[in-house]
Chains A and B, each alone.
Chain A
Amino acid sequence: MRSEQETNRAIDLYADMVRRICMVHLKNQADTEDIFQTVFLKYLLSPTAFESPEHEKAWFIRVTVNACKDLLRSVFRSRTVPLDCLAEQPDQQLTQENREVLQAVLSLPGRYKDVVYLHYYEGYTAPQIGEMLGKKVNTVYTLLTRAKKLLQEQLGGDDDAKADPTGV
């Protein structure tokens, strides 16, 4: 069992990331609290010795994504809320532009959202995402390509094509 100091450090370091992954999947404050408790309790009890900060971060991403999927499977759609609730979340003070971007991401089919978040926000490459999520690299490429197309349709523009580390 990890010390209070370790868990507090992990919460301070990874809470925002866990929150974003929760938002991608759940969009519901109560479920987000559940996921926070589940993820950090797993960390408290996990005997895993992390080799590096990157290893630890990847562990949090994988555990959080899995916890969100488990929660969605268990409650199906009964506890999800419409996208409109994005604006009602008390901790969100989003500009109109950011709200539109987030709504565009959240409106993507479920299988695209993780890869979009991990690639565009966290900066992971397709092979890294594939390893993290247990998907084939080609599948990740395909998902990213399709997601990008959908996002471009909604948001317009392709000015970041050169910066795209996946080359998709």
Chain B
Amino acid sequence: MQKQIQQAFDQVRASDELKDKTKQFLAQNRSARAPKPVWRWAAVVCAVLLLLCGAGGWAYFTPVAAISLDINPSLELRLNRFDQVIQVVGFNESGQQAAGGMHLRFSNYADAVRQILSDEQIQPYLTEDSAISITVASPNEAKNQEMLTQLSACAAEYGDAYCCAANWEQTAQAHDAGMSFGKYQAFLELQALAPQVTPEQVQGLTMRQIRDWIGQLSGDAQQAPAGQGQGYGSGAGAGGSSGAGQGYGPHKNGNGGGGNAGQGS
């Protein structure tokens, strides 16, 4: 019986067609189940991360506003869209020294201005007859107003301050002229009164000297009583060229008449 059973079962075989179908089925399953190479996923993740980092970095490190702080040291703070200082540039020797000695990066702009005005390198320039000029610039008028409001309050704690908004496009012109755009605003104001004045003549002057010069050239009728210079910045902030915006007036008695007022005129 065993032999009979063996003979009978020996004749039962899987057909080639059945084997081929099974092989084909396994081949399909094998390719469908094959794990996707890890490097492909890694590359996609890296690309997305790079894109996000790039976009984040661009958003964070692109300056969208600037503040020019001029006394004699001339400094410019460049701000990102989060109101943080991302760059400090000194435009004259004292400004460069001050910029090098302070850690203002990623500070809020109002804190940064306070820190500058409180700095021991800046303090010697904040004498009774000095003039602080704070100029803000951004393409957004509402942003300018917001910064002016904050900074005028902040600067008032440190003495006379002349705060105004400048035209954002003029910042590049100011840099070409080798000045901060705050000082450039004053230069334009001066040039409107005396067209022969050149940027080189203004670069070395303090803001007090420029203001006094402007005051003198404008033929200021409001001559100060003897012993006092004319006040600067009546608050008009009327720039010589278009776009030089509104100003927040200086606030205290401006003394120290035109000692250098004759220069270059």
* B29-A33 in contact (CB<8A): no
Q: Is the interface on chain A under 10, 10 to 19, 20 to 34, or 35 or more residues?
A: 35 or more
A7 to B8, CA, bound (A): 27
* A105-B5 in contact (CB<8A): yes
A158 to B11, CA, bound (A): 22
Is there a chain B Cβ closer than 8 Å to A97's Cβ?
A: yes
* B22-A91 in contact (CB<8A): no
Shortest distance between the CB of A167 and any CB in chain B (Å): 13
* B19-A11 in contact (CB<8A): yes
- Known contacts being A44-B29, A98-B11, is A121 close to B5, with CB within 8 Å? yes
Is there a chain A Cβ closer than 8 Å to B14's Cβ?
A: yes
* A19-B8 in contact (CB<8A): no
Is there a chain A Cβ closer than 8 Å to B40's Cβ?
A: no
Kindly identify which residue among A1, A4, A18, A101 contacts B5, using a CB–CB cutoff of 8 Å: A101
* A91-B7 in contact (CB<8A): no
Contacts of B19 in A (CB 8 A): 11-12, 15
Shortest distance between the CB of A49 and any CB in chain B (Å): 19
Is there a chain B Cβ closer than 8 Å to A23's Cβ?
A: yes
Is there a chain B Cβ closer than 8 Å to A120's Cβ?
A: yes
A7 to B22, CA, bound (A): 10
Max chain A CB contacts within 10 Å: which of B7, B14, B27? B14
Mask of A136-165 contacts with B, CB within 8 angstroms, 1/0: 000000000000100110010111100110
* B12-A19 in contact (CB<8A): yes
Kindly identify which residue among B1, B7, B15 contacts A157, using a CB–CB cutoff of 8 Å: B1
- Known contacts being A19-B13, A117-B9, is A41 close to B2, with CB within 8 Å? no
Between A and B, 22 residue pairs with Cβ closer than 8 Å are A4-B26, A7-B23, A7-B26, A11-B19, A11-B23, A19-B12, A19-B14, A33-B18, A36-B21, A37-B22, A37-B25, A40-B25, A41-B29, A91-B13, A97-B7, A97-B8, A98-B7, A101-B4, A101-B8, A105-B5, A121-B9, A164-B2
